């Protein structure tokens, strides 16, 4: 990860609505969520939400996928992990307890199944 990318990602997250939005997507996982559903969940006007979604998308933190008439958004875990790694790089000059071990798999494990 490079500086400009990290700044973009951090700036994208440094906003009340976008942070809530990103954390929501982090929670729901790969399944993602439609723009309208997000707007309803967060209580933000559509046009405002669209602005924030575009911001997060262009920062590389969320991905977009069309399903029918809806656009499904989901968090990009790889980008999140890269950002955290970048923040903690060379932490404590390489001392013992330090270093980014955080990770969220893109494939959240196959022990869960949904039926609707």
Measured CA distances, 47 to 41, 65, 69, 89, 114 (Å): 15, 19, 17, 37, 31
Q: Residue 59 has which token pair?
A: 């920062």
Judged by the rule CB under 8 A, the positions of this chain that interact with a second copy are 3, 6-7, 10-11, 13-16, 19-20, 22-23, 26-30, 77, 80, 84, 86-93, 95-105, 107-109, 111-112
> Could you say which of DNA, a second copy, none residue 50 binds, taking C-beta under 5 to 8 angstroms by partner kind?
DNA
* Helix residue spans in the chain (DSSP H): 3-13, 16-28, 35-42, 46-58, 77-87
* Complex with a second copy: residue 69 or 115, whichever CB lies closer: 115
36 binds, among DNA, a second copy, none (CB under 5 to 8 A by kind): DNA
């Amino acid at each position: 990860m490079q500086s400009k990318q990290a700044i973009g990602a951090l700036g994208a997250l440094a906003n009340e609505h976008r942070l809530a939005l990103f954390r929501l997507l982090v929670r729901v996982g790969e399944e993602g969520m439609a723009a309208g559903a997000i707007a309803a969940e967060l209580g933000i006007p559509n046009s405002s939400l669209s602005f924030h979604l575009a911001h997060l998308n262009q920062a590389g933190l969320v991905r977009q996928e069309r399903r029918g008439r809806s656009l499904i958004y989901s968090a990009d875990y790889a980008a999140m992990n890269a950002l955290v790694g970048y923040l903690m790089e060379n932490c404590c000059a390489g001392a013992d307890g330090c270093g980014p071990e955080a990770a969220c798999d893109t494939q959240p494990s196959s022990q869960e199944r949904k039926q609707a």
